Amino acid sequence: MRGPVSADGAPRRPRSGPWWATGLALLALVLLASFMARGDPFTQRLEEDLRPPSREHPLGQDKLGRDVLSRLLYGARVSLGVGISVVLISATLGLALGGVAGTVGGRTDRIVMGVVDVLLAFPGLLLAIAVVAALGPGVTNVVLSLSLLGWTGYARLVRGQILSLREREFVAAARALGARPVRIAARHLIPNLAGLLTVQATFGIAGAIVAEGSLSFLGLGVPAPLPSWGGMLADARPYLLIAPHLTIAPAAVIAFTVLAINLLGDHLRDRWERASSR
């Protein structure tokens, strides 16, 4: 969907400006910090439980006396790792299945799209909860369940794009020159899909991080003692009254991480829209 255009032909969507750079910087900071962190996220000091922020522990200590900052930073690796893995797996699956459905057509297309329609007819989080509830918690199971459901969006996107690209002149020309379907897909279809796919994948990372956080918050995601942002918020819940810092810090970090990724996604989409409307 192209945005409205003003008299001089310039898109009226406000340019994302320096915000996307802020987002990228924020993300880089979180990642960098997570690898540079020296503190130990696992060491327990039971006699120092629920301590407020101090010089030694800038964000305080949790119910087992563990350093909150170290856990947050280590949790960044877990959350971003899950987010990126889910997107890689589901985008690959979606590209393959959507590509096959779009190129082969016929019954294959109907079967693949039928599965997509049924899966998309349900709230994704609900299905993820059902799958993880059955598989049991664990990082692998979280990635598996989110990927199992996440490919549908990519498949639909890829199929739709292929159907419209197929009608374009450059593809018809390649076909007339005798190019084989595999060559057409590799040289003409996939490069043209890459932009839109990148946009969707960026938002997908944000979505997967929120989904992992939600599962972990419910106790169905990343199991203890491995730190995850959702799990930290769940652990902090009984201590809202006496140790609110345990809630504020992870809540802020996850909110700003997701915001940063979404800013980046917005920027990529704007760029893609401008490029394709030219």
Partner 1 sequence: MILRLLLRRCVPVLPRLFAVAPLVFFFLHLVPGDPVDVMLGESALPADKEALRLSLGLDRPVGERYFHYLASLTRGDLGESIGLRAPVWRLVASRYPATLELAAAAIVIAVSVALPLGIIAAARPGSLLDRASMAAALFGASVPSFALGPVLIVVFAISLGWAPVSGRGGAAHLALPALTLGVGMAGILSRITRASVLEALAGDYIRTARAKGLGRWRVLTVHALRNALLPVITVISLQLGALLAGTIITETIFAWPGLGRLTVDAIAARDYPVVQGCILAIGAGYVVVNTAADLLYALADPRIRHEGTRER
Which residues of the chain form contacts with partner 1 (CB under 8 A)? 3-5, 12-14, 19, 117-119, 121-127, 129-131, 133-136, 206, 210, 213-214, 217-220, 229-230, 233-234, 236-237, 240-241, 244, 247-248, 250-252, 254-255, 258-259, 262-263, 266
What is the Cα 271 distance to its own chain's centre? 20
Q: Is 192 helix (H, G, I), strand (E, B) or coil?
A: helix
Token pair of 166 as six digits: 């197929």
Instruction: Find tokens 């959350």 and name the residue.
Output: 79
Of 114, 174, 176, 119, the closest CA to residue 148 belongs to 119
Nearest approach, Cβ of residue 140 and partner 1 (Å): 12
Nearest-approach distance from CB 66 to partner 1, in angstroms: 19
Q: Is 168 helix (H, G, I), strand (E, B) or coil?
A: coil
Decide whether 17 or 106 has the Cβ nearer to partner 1: 17
CB of 111 to partner 1, least distance (A): 14
Taking the least distance from each CB to partner 1, the nearer of 125 and 179 is 125
- Nearest-approach distance from CB 15 to partner 1, in angstroms: 9
Q: Which is nearer to partner 1, 67 or 266 (CB)?
A: 266
Q: Residue 65 or residue 124: which is nearer to partner 1 going by CB?
A: 124
User: Radius of gyration (Cα) for the chain, nearest Å?
Assistant: 22
105 Ramachandran zone, left/alpha/beta (phi>0; psi -120 to 50): left
Q: How many helices (H) and strands (E) does the chain have?
A: 10, 0
**Closest CB to partner 1 among 100 and 258?**
258
Minimal distance, residue 142 CB to partner 1, in Å: 14
Helix (H, G, I), strand (E, B) or coil at 44: coil
